[in-house]
Chain A
Amino acid sequence: MLCIETKDLRKKYASTIAVDGVDLQIESGQVFGFLGPNGAGKSTVIKLLTTLIPPSNGKISILGIDSAKHPLEIRKKIGVVLQQPSYEPTLSAEKSLEKYGMMWNIDKNTRKKRTEELLSAFGLEEIRKKKMDDLSIGQRRRVQVAREFMHDMELLFLDEPTVGLDPAARRKLLDFLREQVKNSGLTIFYTTHVLSEAEYLCDNIAIISNGKIMAVDSPSELKNRFGHEKTIKIHISKVSEQLKSRLSEIPECQIKLEPEPTVIINSTKSEIILMNILKILNETETKINDLSAIPTNLEEIFLKVVGDSN
């Protein structure tokens, strides 16, 4: 079943086009990563999908509900953690969870039970009585994300939820989210700038740039599609003039002298080029200190896709 479907989605502010013809089809029960550089339109798409702002053009269907006709019905079934912090400064962390549950019409006993579970799952027990105003940015962020699990939902929007979190808290949150998707069939629409996070968590990823979707696929498929180039680094003992001259004949390799003499191959045919270079190194009696091949990661794909779009 399609959880999110958009057709030719556009949003224009005065002379700025924030979202430019976005088409999405997202299946239920997965974590869908939504990546893009700053100002690419990620948060605007989230605001459109969560019915906070109306589109200038196009159609949005969330959980099979038309967002133009029944925005409130959609909001009753989704959870939203926006990019900006949101909290009640006068309430304690515990009371924040409890009151948020009340706002979602969760009965008192369930609220109490869930509050305890979430305080534990998010490592908030020690600060449960502390006022939100007195918490650090990371602690507040944890409460903000935890709070959203006080109510039942079918779809959760998380806009950069790990901002301000330390690595341990970040990993705890990612594992918690994975668990939720696995156990309850929840769908998560997830934006982040930390690409290793997206690689760890997401089943599928869309990359947006300048308001347009540049690529949508699973992380492994994206690597297959865009990760043809491989990088091989050969650390050598010295660079002679003869070696420089011989290597200059090979277009897809470069020599770097700092911090140590290195020959870098960056090509779709790295293996073939490597054979040629090894031969040259042997002929010029250049000693190899170390050789490494760097696997293609999501960051490189992201930079390539975004770079191409610009």
Chain B
Amino acid sequence: MIRINPIIRLVNRNLTISINPGFIIWQILFPLIYIFVAGFAYTSLIDSVPFGGKDLDYPAFLASGMIGFNIMNSTLISGIIIWNDRRHGMFEQIMSGPFTRTHYILSNIVTIGIIGLFSAALITAVGYPVFFQSVEFSIVTIPLIIFGSVVGAILFGSIASIISTKLRSSEGFNVIINTVFLFCAFASTAFYPVQGAPQPLATIFYLNPLSYLVDIIRAGIFGQVTDFVITEMLLLVALAAILFVIATKLLTKLDF
């Protein structure tokens, strides 16, 4: 009998219980509406947006922002898996089987990494007609997009995991996770540029890791890797590492 790694077996299980037609439709439909409805509707208000050395039209700017936004949204699944496992007794059941907590934690990370990449690829494909004129993919920029997608997924997956370990009630979990993710979505550079925003708001934008993720992905798509983007990459890695350690510690301490 072929011995399949326990992490892969748990990832298989995570993907089976998480991905359903509703999730995929939501993952496609929601960004489509943003890109094609909001994107073109706001074009009359926002003519073009400067990014690096380029001027992007608003739909292209928004479509690239939606990739980061969608990665963040899809990693909610990590929190939902943990929360559901605790609520429905599967965490205890898995831990009494041929798995360790390390297997469980790593399987969640791999799951959100896969979903993050899938999500990024999906929105890139959907948004490509909108930003293809400004695209400057290269051997450097494609790994940059993959790097941003994976690290961003780990970061937001860790946030969702931390929340899920702390809350038992469904109401509490939903309220907190929606509030945190909604704040991250709208106080970021995903939907609008920082240029022209009031200074306090601009500061908040850059205290928000979604802005780093979105900027890295935009840099990857439009070939605008500046020193500022490199700083954002370092910050994203540092934040993801810290939050991942916290999430892991909390998961390790979860009792039965």
Residues of A within 8 A of B (CB): 47, 50-53, 72, 75-76, 78, 80, 82, 84-91, 95, 99, 102-105, 107
Contacts and interface: CB of A to CB of B under 8 A. Distances in A.
Contacts of B252: none
A259 to B, nearest CB: 45
B54 interface: no
Nearest to B3: A105
B17 A90 contact: yes
Interface stretch (B4-12, B173-181, B190-198, B235-243): B4-12
Contact of A104 (B95, B97, B255): B97
B38 to A, nearest CB: 31
B206 to A, nearest CB: 38
A102 B9 contact: yes
A91 B93 contact: no
B3 A75 contact: no
- Chain B CB count within 10 A is highest, among A72, A76, A86, for A86
B89 to A, nearest CB: 3
Contacts, number: 68
27 contacts: A47-B256, A52-B95, A53-B256, A72-B98, A75-B97, A75-B99, A82-B89, A84-B92, A85-B88, A85-B89, A86-B89, A87-B88, A87-B90, A88-B17, A88-B84, A88-B88, A89-B88, A91-B17, A99-B17, A102-B13, A103-B10, A103-B13, A103-B94, A104-B97, A104-B98, A105-B1, A105-B3
Contacts of A84: 89, 92
B100 interface: yes
Given A75-B97, A82-B89, A89 B9 contact: no
B96 A80 contact: yes
Contacts of A104: 97-98
Contacts of B256: 47, 52-53
A89 B84 contact: yes
B97 A103 contact: yes
